[in-house]
Structure 1
Amino acid sequence: MNETYVTLRGWLGGEVRHRLAGETPVAEFRLGVTARYFDKQRSDWADGETAWYTVKAWRQLADHCRDSLRRADPVMVHGRLSQRSYVKDGVERTVVEVTAVSIGHDLSLGTSAFRRTSARREEPRREEVAAGAAA
């Protein structure tokens, strides 16, 4: 199946909501993406319309979002784009969602500190590899 992948650069519109779907962690947040353009009449940069996306992250990425992201953080999101429509109060609405593959702070706007989690498989140290080869 062909899927559309996108990379979005925006700002968290609120706190990350974290929950369990069965036994699987899922995090969800709204991401505001505002286009910028140069207004020749004012000779200055201006904001365009803000598009809002629902971003969902699953499993370990969900836990990392919960522990790392806060409201108004600038972030980059890469993931699968999907769209669905529904009717509420007689009005048809469309929701655009991104199922994240990777998420990180936008370092063009500030700094961040990275901490590797213990769940990642650790590489053997050089001494251990050398000792194993000598045996």
Structure 2
Amino acid sequence: MNETMVTVVGNAASAVEAKKTASGHPVARLRLATTVRRYDGERGGWTDAYTSFYTVWAFRALAENLAASVVVGEPLLVRGRLRVQQGEHEGKRWTSAEIEATAVGHDLARGTSSFHRVTRVVPAGERAASP
């Protein structure tokens, strides 16, 4: 497999949009903003440079937990598969950077959080996924 795995530190730039797929599985989406900070020797301090935005996708249990745990502005760490796409629409070029999350958590360097384990009931006829 030649997947590009990344870990991105940033802030939730949008509310989590949660829904179900056609087959009934949970999916969630949010925008993650990450701003580069640079030391400005002339000013003698740190300054913001540019901000990059990523669309973060989560599926199944991660999607449900993301929707129940994250609000706009919260500091996050996101780990997952990076996918960058480019194209053209009506004469304008576009670039899209998406992360299919495998893990999402609050950035504890910038605040505190409280963990609550979720117990899920597996419907009859459906086998639980292996850890």
Normalised to the residue count of structure 2, the TM-score between the two structures is: 0.88
Match of 1:114 in 2: 115
Give the Cα–Cα distance (whole angstroms) in 2 for the partners of residues 41 and 101 of structure 1.
41
Give the Cα–Cα distance (whole angstroms) in 1 for the partners of residues 27 and 88 of structure 2.
25
Gaps of 5+ in 2: 122-131
Q: What's the offset of the Cα at 1:119?
A: 2.3
Query: Does 1:3 pair with 2:3?
Result: yes
Match of 1:27 in 2: 28
Query: Does 1:48 pair with 2:88?
Result: no
The equivalences for 1:85-104 within 5 A come to: 85-104=86-105
Match of 1:39 in 2: 40
Higher helix share: 1
Q: What's the offset of the Cα at 1:86?
A: 2.9
Give the Cα–Cα distance (whole angstroms) in 2 for the partners of residues 26 and 87 of structure 1.
27
Q: What's the offset of the Cα at 1:117?
A: 0.4
Please say which structure displays the higher CA radius of gyration.
1
Normalised to the residue count of structure 1, the TM-score between the two structures is: 0.85
Larger displacement relative to structure 2 (99-108 or 78-87): 78-87
Identity of aligned residues (%): 38
Give the Cα–Cα distance (whole angstroms) in 2 for the partners of residues 21 and 83 of structure 1.
23
Give the Cα–Cα distance (whole angstroms) in 2 for the partners of residues 107 and 47 of structure 1.
21
Match of 1:12 in 2: 12
Give the Cα–Cα distance (whole angstroms) in 2 for the partners of residues 111 and 88 of structure 1.
43
RMSD of equivalent CA atoms:
1.2
SS of the residue 1:109 aligns to: coil
Gaps of 5+ in 1: 121-135
Give the Cα–Cα distance (whole angstroms) in 1 for the partners of residues 3 and 50 of structure 2.
26
SS of the residue 2:63 aligns to: helix
Q: What's the offset of the Cα at 1:84?
A: 1.3
Summarize deviations over 1:25-72 as a string: whole Å, max 9, x none. 110000001011111110000011000000000000000010000000
Match of 2:126 in 1: none
The equivalences for 1:116-135 within 5 A come to: 116-119=117-120
